[in-house]
Amino acid sequence: MKLPFKTVALIGKYKTPEITEPLLRLAAFLSGKGVAVVVNSRTAENFSQHPYQEISLEEMGDKVDLAIVLGGDGTMLNIVRTLAPFGVPLVGVNQGRLGFLTDISLDTMQQTIGAMLEGKFVTEQRMLLSAQILRGDVEVFKSLAFNEVVLHRGNISSMIEFEVRIDGEYLYNQRADGLIVATPTGSTAYALSAGGPILHPSLDLIALVPVCPHTLSNRPIVVKSESLVEILPLRSSDVRIRCDSHSYFDLQENDKVVVTRYAQPACLLHPAGHSYYSMLREKLLWNKAL
């Protein structure tokens, strides 16, 4: 990681005009600190004019030392998937709802980021998943996932049927609405709603969480991050794979879904004193009196 951060990218939630004022305010603050600021070209579509260079998200990988994302967790997911392969550290400013990933408030944004520019931050490495679909020996789809890879039904109302193998060993056949393969980061997303366990983000684990399984004996299972997870739909009509709500692919008969850990982790920066447990208490309302 390069310190100090000489070039910083600002990325705001797309098609959100209200992001303009805080983002330009932050850009002016950073420029005043002697930092070179670039703005994501899609974010800049909301601006009438500004003095900053515009570059696409895909161009940022080898040009910036830090990326600051203004938006919600959904915005951060897409940015992480694009920039993680380049090792670019990311900071999240929350303008969404929960803010598990975007943990800096707009009210304290300049003060907090100013301290982070001076090296006062906590670094966190988080794993991603790589999902591919094999049709015979041919790869027909590949994508990264920061939260989860989900096998689910498409437009039909009936359950789907599938087989799961771990490292080549048969685990189970399942009839359910779907299956979530989640990272520790994704354990507080869709997997949490489906009854999965909360995993600390520092753990190298993968959680398999069935969605509404048609059996009382089935439970989520957690496996090591080096595991090779294979999912084979047994009834392929209207079955879909989804990665972080951003990438989709409709399966055909005899397609196989393969999920593994991605080699390059994402790097998230948090303000000094950041506590994951404190964040959980706040976001999940564990600090409320019963």
- The series of mean pLDDT values per 10 residues for the chain, 290 residues long, is 84 89 95 96 88 94 95 91 95 83 91 95 97 97 97 82 97 95 97 96 96 90 98 85 92 94 97 93 79
C-beta neighbour count of 11 within 10 angstroms: 26
Distance, in Å, from the CA atom of 265 to the CA atom of 270, rounded to the nearest integer, reads 16
Catalytic residue among 62, 65, 73, 204, which?
A: 73
pLDDT at 289: 62
pLDDT at 290: 58
The total of structural domains in the chain comes to 2
| Residue 161 domain flag | yes
Q: Residues, the chain, total? A: 290
Q: Token pair of 177, please?
A: 């609405």
For residue 198, give the DSSP letter.
P
Q: What is the secondary structure of 99-145 as a DSSP string? A: -SS--EESTTHHHHHHHHHTT-EEEEEE--EEEEEEETTEEEEEEEE
| Residue 45 domain flag | yes
Residue 73 annotated in active site: yes
165 lies in the same domain as 240 = yes
CATH code, domain carrying 28? 3.40.50.10330
Domain range for 148: 129-261
Q: In terms of C-beta density within 10 A (0-12 exposed, 13-18 middle, 19 or more buried), how is residue 59 classed? A: middle
116 lies in the same domain as 154 = no
Residue 57, helix vs strand vs coil: helix
pLDDT at 2: 61
For residue 193, give the DSSP letter.
H
